[in-house]
Amino acid sequence: MKRSRFSDEQIIGMIKEQEAGTPTAQVCRKYGISSASFYKYKAKFGGMDVSDARKLKALEEENAKLKKLLAETMLDNAILKDVAAKKW
């Protein structure tokens, strides 16, 4: 997945700027993004503070680690079953 060129803090700043009354088109022009990107950011980060975004990022990283561990365990289990089936 392509990384955003903006940090979570910058994105939240853009959203707060728009919520303060600046037109969406002007915010998009200022940061060089499309309105579709802006609304995608708003759907993900709308109503969040910077601390909430940091917590979300930490949870996403932990979730990715756990998914990787589960996949490795399932693969090991499948290999062991395959080896056990061939011996008998």
Digitized pLDDT (tens) for each residue of the chain, 88 residues in all: 567 788 888 999 999 999 999 999 999 999 999 999 999 999 988 888 889 888 988 999 999 999 999 999 999 999 999 888 886 6
Contact at 8 Å (CB) between 9 and 53? yes
Q: Domain map of the chain by residue range? A: 1-48, 49-87
Contact at 8 Å (CB) between 53 and 6? no
Contact at 8 Å (CB) between 45 and 11? yes
Q: On the CB side of 30, how many CA atoms lie within 13 Å of its CA?
A: 14
pTM above 0.85, yes or no: no
